[in-house]
Structures are given as C-alpha cells and as structure tokens.
Amino acid sequence: MGQRGLIVAPPRTGKTTLLHHIADAVVKNHPEMKLIILLVDERPEEVTDFKRSHPKSEIIASSNDSDIKSHTRIAQLAIERAKRLVEAGKHVFILLDSITRTARAFNNAMGGGGRTMSGGVDARAMEIPRKIFAAARNTEEAGSLTIVATALIETGSRMDELIFQEFKGTGNMEMVLDRKISDQRIYPAIDIFLSGTRREELLLQPWELEKINLIRRGLAGHKPGEAIERLLMFVKKFPTNTEMLKGIPG
C-alpha cells in the first residue's frame, strides 16, 4: 500500500482493459480499500462503461466533451477527497487515466504567458500534476494512498512525450505496454524487461525475490513477446502467485 505506479501505454495496447482488470482485482482482493477511478478527458462511452462495470467503486470523471476547467477541477477534487479519507484512517487506491491528459488540461488552463518548454508545455503546468502523482504514500499514523496512473506515449504529440519524460522514473513501479506484443494478440501486452518495481526487496520475502530473479534470468534470452507469452502460460497453471513461485525449482 502507498505505492506510486505508472502504466506506460502506446495506443491500442489494451490499456483500458488492463485498468478494468486492476479495478476488479483491487475490489476482490482488498475489499477494505476505497477504490477511486479518476478519468480525465476520457471518451463519454468509456466513462459510462467504467460506471457500469465497477458499481462498488467511486467514479470521478470529466469526459472529453467537458471544458478544461472541469478537467482540472475534478482532478484536484479527487486527490483532496483521497487525502481526507487517508487522514480518517482509510486505505485508498486511485486509478488515474491518464496523467498525460491531466497534465495537458493544466497546461491549456495556463493560457500562455509563462516560460514555454519544447512541445508547447508551460513550465508551470506540471506543478499540480506532479503533486497529484506524488501524493501517494503510506502514513504511520493514518491510512495509505496508492496511485496507479497511465502515461500515453507514441501518440505523435511532442507534448505527450515531454509529459511522459516529466513522470518517467518518479514512480515506485513502471509497467510498460508494447504495441508489437499487442499486435500479436498477446494480453496483457507487457514488456517485462522494461517493467519493474523499485526496491522490490522491501515488498517480497527473500525466497520470493530469489524465485522472481530466476524467472527473469530464464526469460532473458527471449524477445519481449515470447517472454510474456511463456510467462502467462506458466502463471495460468497456478491459482495464486505464491503457489506459482513455490512451483519453481531452485
């Protein structure tokens, strides 16, 4: 709990489906957590789909037919609500789709006048989105706030690339989706070689970490698509991750 994760997603890599699965997993495995799904500048039909698919979750959304002020307002309201819940001792999980569109909205809201970086990004525009993402933490005296946000890449926009670079490496976890893998109809289309967790030794038992390192070494000689396909075939043989790791010799 209290982690800060980034899902790096090119177009058409199954990002939205992955978010649905994450939301389902949080509700099923951690019913004590308050799940907030924050959708900024998203298609109206996607907002409706999330509301119908996750009735036990709180959906806070500003669809792409809303104005920029709506986008920036709901992003700040959602994070402030989450902070108050954490102060009350709750464990909160925010799924944010996407940090890219959130940053775009704050950039457009600036209206010019400030120092402009390459890609047309106002230097001041990243301040609030960075604070939103940085709000994730595990407090000793109260609850925790976990944030998993998507970052859009390979969109053809210089601004989106610059926004991604602003957030790259700022999370505890990065999950990188690969268009070449999704084109092979392999889902989730995760490039496991580019994905990982910082200081995972703090989250895992020593024997678990050892087994995970064995998996990574065993897959190191494969292409990303082959690696995730082999890993998925192995994972499906076991009901839980713990049993899977125990099934690895060595």
Residues 117 and 227 in one domain: no
Per the structure, the count of domains in the chain is 2
For residue range 141-173, list pLDDT tens digits in order: 889 999 999 999 999 999 899 999 988 888 899
Task: Give the C-alpha separation, 186 to 11, whole Å.
Answer: 15
b/e per residue 189-200 (b: at least 16 CB within 10 A): bbbbbebebeee
Residues 189 and 234 in one domain: no
Residues 138 and 190 in one domain: yes
Residues 205 and 124 in one domain: no
Residues 170 and 245 in one domain: no
Boundaries of domain holding 217: 199-249
Extract the residue ranges of the chain whose pLDDT is less than 70: 111-119, 250
Residues 169 and 229 in one domain: no
Instruction: Tell me whether strands 58-63 and 196-197 are parallel, antiparallel or unpaired.
Output: unpaired
Residues 47 and 98 in one domain: yes
Task: Give the C-alpha separation, 181 to 189, whole Å.
Answer: 5
What is the pTM (predicted TM-score) of this model?
A: 0.89
User: Which of 198, 214, 234 is at the close of a domain?
Assistant: 198
